[in-house]
Amino acid sequence: MATPERLTLLLGGAALGAVSMAAYHKMNQPRPMAAAVRPSPPPPSMPAPGPQGKPAVADPRENARHILPFGFPGPVSDIVYRNAYVTSYNRRDRNPNWVAEHLTKDTLKRADGVDRQNSKFKEDDQIPVQFRARLSDYYQSGFDRGHMVPAADVKNSQLSMDETFYLTNIAPQVGEGFNRDYWAHVENFCRSLTSKFDNVYVFSGPLYLPHQEADGKFYVKYQVIGNPPNVAVPTHFYKVIMTESKGKYSVGAFVLPNQRIADSTPLEAFKVPLDAVERGTGLTFFDRMGPSKASVPDLCKQTKCEIVLSKFHKAKKDAAALPS
């Protein structure tokens, strides 16, 4: 298992991999399309004269009208707003870039009649069809449909709980030992923070980190599930946490490998600097805090950072310890 220093190094040089384009293209031959009428590009415009009759330097944005007369190709990150979370969806990897939530004691209260059994996984119709993660991608893939915002965080509304089952809030996770265990413990840790802090803000998402192989070189390799291959399997996942009480803040960042993790592993073994997650994801967290962001206290110095087993997992662990 990677040490915190090793994770920081890998995060600093993280890059996204790609499946074989030739193989992918073969499995995704485009359907014939009707011939389109090509619009005429806009006529060139001359820059206005500058001071003393000298020609003015053309605005590069004006030049873009002639370079891209038929539109900007992207990339596009779809922002989807739900009742209990906001997500940024990556069309290429068919996974979220990040999913954000805000936890308080009140939001975690269970409402009458709310039951996870009433919720079903579903494709997100807010995403264009050609870029959607599909339910069939996960079928017999060997991976769980892992929540970024867990259903247990939104027991105050059946609608909000149902919305956590959209595939824009889901990524492929190893089941036994991770999604069903250690990742769930980290989720429970996040919820437990509301007993000490008034507001808990959590960002969750995937990472695709390089791995050093026998030749000493680093490679980014990850599986892609679906037929044809459609959804990237992250190598790691992150949780970035900001807490607030009475105007005082603290922050913590954790990166976990997408693999079995023993319950005995300390949570702080996965603690990394916030800027390491930012380098690895290409994201900027809490930018509205301005320069003060750099001096926000360490969450793990304000409270004990340790996994918290739910009643369900405690019972599961106790049952496993009983003699057969």
Residues annotated as part of the active site = 147
Q: Contact 203/239 with Cβ under 8 angstroms?
A: yes
The residue assigned the tokens 């709980």 is 161
Residue-wise DSSP of 161-190: HHHTTBGGGEEEE-IIIIIIIIHHHHHHHH
Q: Contact 92/179 with Cβ under 8 angstroms?
A: no
Residue-wise DSSP of 252-266: EEEEEESS---TTS-
Token pair for 46: 């001359």
Angle at 171 (CA atoms; ends 101, 13), nearest 5 degrees: 90
Q: Which residue, 280, 283, 188, is CA-closest to 235?
A: 280
Q: Contact 161/114 with Cβ under 8 angstroms?
A: yes
Q: Contact 240/274 with Cβ under 8 angstroms?
A: yes
CB-based contacts of 318, cutoff 8 Å, min separation 6:
none
Bridge partners (DSSP) listed for residue 319: none
d(CA 165, CA 147): 8
d(CA 123, CA 151): 16
